[in-house]
Structure 1
């Protein structure tokens, strides 16, 4: 372990930092983004319910196999896939671990390591995220099992009196501790302080709150956390109006920023990502996607739980990935609508 050179030392060796930097840069490579397939058992059940499938282990496994075994062309636009713990341990019907399926395509497996949101005591219906206990051991297992990055979601809500300073500080400290633990175990941390789009507030309020959330990076500075290996900071509900693009300005810049779809329709999520990347303002980092619903809605509709429709579902996934890959470099020309079309994918108080 290197000797501390300042109060901000990361305690990482040059080789460790180099490995993390390479992973982080690969995640946000031009024209590529993340497929978020980290839905919990309960959330996956809601997805399957929409196509009249029971929420069984086998149905969840079969659906994830559909996603991960899509034609290798998917790797042209998908750099990483975020897995849920159950999915990390699953395999194809032929017995090939999903992690290996992704690695063979040149896609980096990632893993959701938080254990969900819980009420924040003393707050007005705010929350924090649990899972720090035993996190180092879990990260070590996931790294050994082939993962290269991790995800941890904290949630902030906008209302007349929230987010409170208490909630922002609590979640910023949690994210900083998570990021440091991940890096010590060789995983690039996706730092996700998610400002929910729920509410009737205006754009100026969303901008103000998002700027205040830069507390996350102040807390990271106080931890042994390397900024150059922090893969992304995520924000929601970006509007096509260029003024909205100004509402995230991280205090310290990671290698890239990946946007959530925020319950927008598939097409809107793509068009808005493209608008951000064609905006003439200064953009010193890659701006790409980490989409779950906005990459999967059409897939589920086309598949419908029928083996005969697996190829149709995979074709939808490839179509959406290609559309968003183009949007990530400002070259989406439209015409990539899938089976879900312009349907809103918004879920109030969204949970994974």
Structure 2
């Protein structure tokens, strides 16, 4: 696939007023979500839940793409229609999570590095045949005493760059996600410093690996204080510091940036995105790639009666998509 084709897909992923829904929870992660609402984590229940989300009427009005898990990419509706066809027909681009999760970084207690590069070329080739058009890889950066180390940041940046190059080789748009965790007592200034160093390292590694930024999407965490910090920041402060950090580190050639919600409440995630988009002209579109902030309300409603509450749960999904779509335009009220 040419860079022009990759760029076209990347631009469609951040189309005005649209964003990404992340439904790429691993089996272990979705089991925790299901346990929280009293649902048994069977393959059929996971399939039915993802069908409820992906068949939401008019989903494509505000959702440009969806990140799927390996199991979900291979599944179909109860009527036998592949999820990838349901999505394509709705104007939603299929994506796939390809990393194998964050593991302890040897020699650096408390720090993590994401694994999954072994065999990735062949997996990406298969995912492209199954209908995926973009992929996602998440790195985890923890803030703590003497953390993160330069080694942790560099190791994760290197892995993200190798993954991104392999994606583009197979005709998939790479979504690179260096998440700076909210866990801890650090203040917003510390988060700014670590996010800036992380993004500089990431884009340096992408350059070194000949990754074409025109066909790449950044999934970024917002600059926020740790959730245990006694002094929390206002919506305006988060928006201003996040945008300042991005302008200092992210090349203007990138097609767009989508944010993860990263433990924020549904409304916080929407308010922060809206505030950033109210701050005037930016080099790239700012949109969303939310998981829990898109799903949590719908999951609770659906869990009460999985057969009878599909329509009501879908209304909630659409409402969240619309709110965040408006926030991506700076028009949320």
User: TM class, shorter-chain normalised?
Assistant: over 0.9
Q: Is the 8 A contact 1:196 1:236 kept in 2?
A: no
Structure 1 runs not aligned, ≥5 long: 1-14, 334-352
1:326 equivalent to 2:311? Answer: no
Larger deviation: 207-216 or 301-310? 301-310
Structure 1 residue 50 displacement after superposition: 1.7
Structure 1 residue 217 displacement after superposition: 0.7
Q: Is the 8 A contact 1:153 1:191 kept in 2?
A: yes
- Alignment of structure 1 residues 86-101 onto 2, 5 Å: 86-101=71-86
Superposed CA deviations along residues 204-223 of structure 1, whole A, max 9, x for unmatched, are 11111111012011011111
- Which segments of structure 1 move beyond 4 Å, counting only runs of 4 or more? none
- Alignment of structure 1 residues 240-319 onto 2, 5 Å: 240=235, 241=237, 242-245=239-242, 246-248=244-246, 249-253=248-252, 254-280=254-280, 282-306=281-305, 307-319=307-319
Q: Is the 8 A contact 1:77 1:325 kept in 2?
A: yes
Structure 1 residue 275 displacement after superposition: 0.6
Superposed CA deviations along residues 179-220 of structure 1, whole A, max 9, x for unmatched, are 000000000000111100111111111111111012011011
Superposed CA deviations along residues 241-278 of structure 1, whole A, max 9, x for unmatched, are 24423233324241100011111111111111101110
Residues in 2 aligned to 1:305 and 1:92: alpha-carbon distance in whole angstroms? 21
Residues in 2 aligned to 1:323 and 1:243: alpha-carbon distance in whole angstroms? 21
60, 64, 72: which one pairs with 1:79? 64
Superposed CA deviations along residues 104-123 of structure 1, whole A, max 9, x for unmatched, are 11110000000111110011
Larger deviation: 98-107 or 250-259? 250-259
SS of residue paired to 1:304:
helix
SS of residue paired to 2:308:
helix
Residues in 2 aligned to 1:67 and 1:125: alpha-carbon distance in whole angstroms? 35
1:172 equivalent to 2:171? Answer: no
Structure 1 residue 51 displacement after superposition: 1.6
Residues in 1 aligned to 2:268 and 2:250: alpha-carbon distance in whole angstroms? 28
Q: Is the 8 A contact 2:219 2:260 kept in 1?
A: no
Task: Quote the residue 1:20 is aligned against.
Answer: 6
- Alignment of structure 1 residues 1-352 onto 2, 5 Å: 16-71=2-57, 73-213=58-198, 214-236=200-222, 238=224, 240=235, 241=237, 242-245=239-242, 246-248=244-246, 249-253=248-252, 254-280=254-280, 282-306=281-305, 307-333=307-333
Residues in 2 aligned to 1:243 and 1:143: alpha-carbon distance in whole angstroms? 38
Q: Is the 8 A contact 2:240 2:276 kept in 1?
A: no
Q: Is the 8 A contact 2:191 2:223 kept in 1?
A: no
Superposed CA deviations along residues 26-85 of structure 1, whole A, max 9, x for unmatched, are 0000000000000000111111112211111111011000001110x2101000000000
Q: Is the 8 A contact 2:195 2:223 kept in 1?
A: no
Task: Quote the residue 1:348 is aligned against.
Answer: none
Between Structure 1 and Structure 2, the one with more helix by share is 2
